[in-house]
Amino acid sequence: MEKEKLYGKTLNELIAVTKRMRMPGFAARQIADWLYRKEIDSIDEMTNLSKKMRDLLSADYCIGLSDPETFSESTDGTRKYLFKVLDNKYIETAFIPDDDRATLCVSCQSGCKMGCIFCMTGKQGFQGNISSNEILNQFRSIPEFSRLTNIVYMGMGEPLDNIDEVLKTLDILTSEWGYGWSPTRITVSTVGLIKSITEFLEKSRCNLAVSLHSPFDEERKKLMPVQRTNSVKEVLDAIRNFDFNRQRRVSFEYILFKGLNDSPAHIRELARILNGIRCRINLIRFHPVPGVPLESPDMDSVIRFREALNNKGILATIRASRGMEIRAACGLLSTIQQNKLISE
Ligand code: SF4
């Protein structure tokens, strides 16, 4: 029988494990400390647990870390790692160094149900939710782990469609018994699943990034089929109704497609619907995806779009080009790997 993985369990889950093993109450915190602070690779290294306890634990459990299978590196230093999950499926993780920041972009699902037409992962369809172990392993098992300063949940999948596992990882990353990271260094993105946005805002203190891509319902529906059940207005109302503190940030991701969502009418409507929300818009230049008939605007048009928004009082920034290609093509590497496995 396969052993259960300890890495990725919250303190409450570790308490349940220690109860089940008839270990003393304080052992759960000791185990959390070994897993998330002392970064050990085997149960045998948990030397403040008795040998008997370690043997007992090892009979049913393992740490559960796994190295990436491969990686690719782009000329600007960003690296994309490929991890095996579920039953021969793959997820991608991007490491994006940028001056004194080192950001990790993690995946939360294998494939995705949301079907955004501009996204390679959307084209894969949905293969399954991954566990908190598999989400957090992307952070712990890359060589640059100790250099990381920020984490964004913007890789494959819709994080809020796997909210239980995502919330567990946020708990582990931000708790004093876990990695003790500030929640302001972590951003979770969503296409706008209203029910889960509210749950996420209530149960975590991390930043939220909403993929907007158009302020018009009909147009957004064509780009992101999820819009059929979650209108822009409903998404913005859910955000407006929440009491944000000064540290917590809401941002909107806006991929610019040439001749589609980059007109003065889009600027006016964005300014109107975002009025009263303390937020920022991150403008992202679309990077072509195979089989997607959408084009990228030139950089001058992107700059003009940003300035027009800023002039209307909306804080807009252009997402630096570093790592953009790797992110825009999110899903490509895992698609190739999965196709390879099928044809073998
Ligand atoms: S953009 Fe995000 S939510 Fe949309 S299909 Fe791709 S991975 Fe899923």
Any ligand 1 atom below 6 A from CB of 109: no
Edge-to-edge order in the sheet of strand 101-105: 70-73, 79-85, 89-98, 101-105, 150-153, 186-190, 207-211, 250-256, 280-285, 315-318
Distances (CA, A) of 91 to 68, 105, 135, 175: 10, 11, 10, 26
pTM score > 0.75 for this model? yes
Of 283, 344, 330, 328, residue with least CA distance to 121? 330
Please state the rounded mean pLDDT for residues 173-180: 98
- Output the pLDDT for position 182: 97
334 pLDDT more than 90: no
Tell me which of 107, 108, 114 to substitute to probe ligand 1's pocket, judged by most ligand atoms within 8 Å of the beta carbon: 114
Residue 92 is a catalytic residue = yes
Tell me which of 117, 158, 160, 292 to substitute to probe ligand 1's pocket, judged by most ligand atoms within 8 Å of the beta carbon: 158
pLDDT by residue (tens digit) across 68-95? Answer: 999 988 888 889 999 999 788 999 999 9
How many A from CA of 218 to the centre of ligand 1? Answer: 18
Any ligand 1 atom below 6 A from CB of 114: yes
Any ligand 1 atom below 6 A from CB of 215: no
Please tell me the distance from the alpha carbon of residue 81 to that of residue 85, in angstroms, as a whole number.
Answer: 13
Any ligand 1 atom below 6 A from CB of 112: yes
How many A from CA of 30 to the centre of ligand 1? Answer: 38
Please state the rounded mean pLDDT for residues 257-280: 95
Check residues 343 and 33 and name the one with the higher pLDDT.
Answer: 33
Residue 158 is a catalytic residue = no
- Output the pLDDT for position 124: 85
Please state the rounded mean pLDDT for residues 285-308: 91
Q: Which atom of ligand 1 is nearest to the CA of 112?
A: 8
Mean confidence (pLDDT) of the chain: 91
Are 116 and 191 in contact by the 8 Å Cβ rule? The answer is yes
How many A from CA of 120 to the centre of ligand 1? Answer: 8
Q: Which atom of ligand 1 is nearest to the CA of 191?
A: 3
pLDDT by residue (tens digit) across 112-149? Answer: 999 999 998 888 899 999 999 999 999 999 999 999 99
Residue 202 contacts by C-beta under 8 Å, 6 or more apart in sequence? none
Instruction: Please give the share of the chain, as a percent, with pLDDT higher than 70.
Output: 93
Give the model's confidence band at 319: pLDDT under 50 very low, under 70 low, under 90 confident, else very high.
confident
Please state the rounded mean pLDDT for residues 313-326: 74
Q: 142 by DSSP, 3-state: which?
A: coil
- Output the pLDDT for position 320: 67
Please state the rounded mean pLDDT for residues 42-57: 96
Of 105, 112, 116, 330, the catalytic one is: 330
Please tell me the distance from the alpha carbon of residue 93 to that of residue 323, in angstroms, as a whole number.
Answer: 12
pLDDT by residue (tens digit) across 202-253? Answer: 999 999 999 999 999 999 999 998 878 888 999 999 999 888 877 789 999 9
Instruction: Please give the share of the chain, as a percent, with pLDDT higher than 90.
Output: 78
Check residues 246 and 275 and name the one with the higher pLDDT.
Answer: 275
How many A from CA of 156 to the centre of ligand 1? Answer: 7
- Output the pLDDT for position 75: 83
CB atoms under 10 Å from CB of 255, counted, come to 24
How many A from CA of 49 to the centre of ligand 1? Answer: 43
Give the model's confidence band at 321: pLDDT under 50 very low, under 70 low, under 90 confident, else very high.
low
Give nearest CA residue, ligand 1 atom 5.
Answer: 122
